[in-house]
Amino acid sequence: MIKPFRKVLGTALVAGAALGSAATADAALVVGVFDPAFGAALSGVDFSGTASFTIDQNCLNNSLADATGVFIYSTSICNGHLAGMSFLGAHVDFTGGQSGHADFAANPFGILGMFVQNHQVVGVQSIILGPVTSTLPGHEQFKLVFGQTNPVFDFGDIFRPPERNDGDNDYDDMPASAFQSTHLILVGGDACLHSTCPSQSNAAATHFVPEPGSLALVMGALGVGWAAR
């Protein structure tokens, strides 16, 4: 996973530079890793990938982000700070019956919320991201979604402070496991000539790994590196 991680981290750095002031000094960098078989539409093809996200450190420090955990909307305010959530990009490698890769571009509005437990991100709910043209020989095209496969923009809760178990059966009432899978969605290419598209992949269990230091430190290191070059 080191090589894909380096690729997506590079994407994250470039995206962070492009976002500029949209990334706060307190933003924490989180990387998600997933590794399933695609399923019937691409029989015999496996994919693995890495994706990167940001969230404001104040949301990780929230008192509700304890062992029980809490779902925090991207529009929430955490200790007076915007949640600072953003999708910084993803890199997906394909192996098995076909080989190639796909890269998903950054989307600063691509995250609807994150589940934070033990003061770490353990789940992500995104919008449907993409499309992206892959390098598979069949010219397959994909979209990508983290969490629920039919994301809902929740107008009732988006401007509330982080809360849990309010009984309205929205994202903030769901367990962490509801946001711990990743799906690729096949939307084009030769495979669609032989199966119904769009076609969702098997669910990929996704592990979210906090990266040490803030995004500001990462961006600073990038600046030092380019200066040295």
Domain ranges of the chain: 2-228
Residue 167 has pLDDT above 60, yes or no: yes
β pairing state of 100-104 and 111-117: unpaired
**Residues 140, 40: contact at Cβ < 8 Å?**
no
Q: With pLDDT > 90 as the criterion, what percentage of the chain qualifies?
A: 56
- Burial label for 172, CB within 10 Å (0-12, 13-18, 19+), is buried
**Residues 146, 128: contact at Cβ < 8 Å?**
no
pLDDT in tens, 63-94: 989 999 999 999 998 888 999 999 999 999 99
**Residues 16, 189: contact at Cβ < 8 Å?**
no
pLDDT in tens, 118-154: 999 999 999 999 988 899 999 999 999 999 999 988 7
Higher pLDDT, 109 or 27: 109
What number is the average pLDDT over the span 48-71? 93
